[in-house]
Structure 1
């Protein structure tokens, strides 16, 4: 079974990828989407989104990082893909799943699922441009406002030469509201010769097993659950429903996160509090910690508080 860390804008940035691949068991992860319009982006943009390019395209833990693009200009997508590969990207992924209104309004992401021919042209342009040994893949949803073109889009991606397709088992209209319709991946899997990776509402080992059963897929992409419960991939691989990591292990991860480089300290503090808020849904200890750090504004203050909690905090 392959387990992949999903690209999530504003969430799985380089620092979070470093933390989650340090403790998780991922076969690869995917960058937040890089928006392409009418030019080849400068190298510093690639290094900002994917500093792992300076480390042979891998996180510090050795997990490959695939570079994801979003856009509607085949020529520029192809040119940027070539540059990303020159800089060390081990694979290229195409985004046809983003449901954000601003992205869709500019003909990017899931809105293109109403245009299967465009999907084909974009994937083919990238596939034709990069070396044959570099995999090209795509991520899609079941559709934009409906599922009328689900199979057409899947076939378009395969016919354009993609090595695999990841399918988020909801339409754009469904957003992120449960449930994910895992059973709707079954027809896609049967229709294609390339691999189909299932994505959406996989929060724990039980969800993973049920998704595999309903979708017929063999591989999974894990999104928010990887951030909320960083040991989720270990639980899935070991077929365990109970947590594997102790809270003290998670505090060590949080300190690693806070010691990561970021543009501004306030951004780092905000990102950490976002993560802690997500973990609070699963860990009672995180709720108690939140009350202690929610008013803190300096990274050093938060790290000191974490060190204190690691020494004295009882298991809840």
Structure 2
């Protein structure tokens, strides 16, 4: 009798479980929305919206104001690690602030070389630095030397400012200065957020980088199919999702093949979101914050469109409160996922 040994076939890249990061989005994806979105599950780590560093050493409260998770062991209430992000152009000042931030035991320090906002760029912050690869390298190197060796230092960049001609130079500067991880948003500052995202350029940039440097692909990932296609084009097994997750809070779970999140599960999250907005935002701006999120949710959920239509004309928090109370909520609230292990960099 002949014995035949069957060898297991390699796992297809498309079905391997990716590492998923929740993107920083100034003016939208703040601590409140991070808290709510990480309750749905599937997210491995978050990056905070940027903390602006100019010519001063910030007090600890400045870091905590943007990243209140620092008071909770650096994690959201669902247990997902949050990496604070710094933005600036002075290597010495950024290094000093990174050292102070490190004393608060964050899950690493991230550096912003991608913000396309005109006000930020005019002050030599964000994407405008992509025209100065040498300066980017000095910033990363200074921060890397300023924080303990065990603390990861990562960076997020776009493909360039006006064009992508020095994308490889910028990425090499970041890698050469000792970064532990690099996120690449697959557009230039000039592209803004207009589709498409140029994922093939991420693949090209990766060819000049050390093979052991984790590269995370970011940009235009709205669906499971787009997540799969992005991985295939870029060769990255790590993805950062932003507006796609705000629009569809179940996207990370769906990318992992674990289903999604129904509207009946969104309703209690809206109440959690509203309660936190009421505790952090001036009364006259509260309704606007909820409508901002509903404006995204309506792209995914028909019920979100109806909710947006009902609240569109109102800026009265009492009206929003009454609307939330009138909704039929699930009898059991969505469980908060157990704490997850920080992503190794």
Say whether residues 1:231 and 2:250 are aligned partners. Answer: yes
Point out the structure with max Rg over C-alpha.
2
Report what 1:306 is aligned to: 324
The separation in 2 between residues aligned to 1:22 and 1:191, in whole angstroms, is 37
Extract unaligned runs of 5+ from structure 2. 1-17, 331-345
The separation in 1 between residues aligned to 2:254 and 2:284, in whole angstroms, is 33
Q: Higher helix fraction: Structure 1 or Structure 2?
A: 1
Q: Secondary structure at the match of 1:234?
A: helix
Report what 2:147 is aligned to: 130
Runs of 4+ more than 4 Å apart: none
TM superposition shift of 1:90 = 1.6
Report what 2:221 is aligned to: 202
After superposition, the C-alpha distances for 1:81-121 in whole angstroms (9 at most, x for unaligned) are 11111122121000000111111111111111110000000
Q: Secondary structure at the match of 2:57?
A: coil
Higher relative contact order (CA 8 A, sep 6+): 2
Question: Comparing 293-302 with 188-197, which one deviates more in the overlay?
Answer: 293-302
Contact 2:267-2:329 within 8 A present in 1 as well: no
Report what 1:264 is aligned to: 282
TM-score where L is the length of structure 2: 0.87
CA-atom RMSD in angstroms: 1.4
The separation in 1 between residues aligned to 2:266 and 2:225, in whole angstroms, is 22
Report what 1:293 is aligned to: 311
Say whether residues 1:19 and 2:36 are aligned partners. Answer: yes
TM-score where L is the length of structure 1: 0.94
Contact 1:205-1:239 within 8 A present in 2 as well: no
Say whether residues 1:284 and 2:284 are aligned partners. Answer: no
The separation in 2 between residues aligned to 1:3 and 1:83, in whole angstroms, is 28
The separation in 2 between residues aligned to 1:145 and 1:311, in whole angstroms, is 48
User: What is the number of residues matched between the two proteins?
Assistant: 309
Report what 1:86 is aligned to: 103
The separation in 2 between residues aligned to 1:311 and 1:160, in whole angstroms, is 51
The separation in 2 between residues aligned to 1:311 and 1:20, in whole angstroms, is 18
Question: Comparing 22-31 with 130-139, which one deviates more in the overlay?
Answer: 22-31
Contact 2:40-2:261 within 8 A present in 1 as well: no
Q: Secondary structure at the match of 1:33?
A: strand
The separation in 2 between residues aligned to 1:263 and 1:304, in whole angstroms, is 18
Q: Secondary structure at the match of 1:32?
A: strand
Contact 1:141-1:167 within 8 A present in 2 as well: yes
Q: Among 193, 209, 222, which residue is 2:241 paired with?
A: 222
Contact 2:114-2:158 within 8 A present in 1 as well: yes
Say whether residues 1:275 and 2:293 are aligned partners. Answer: yes
Report what 1:3 is aligned to: 20
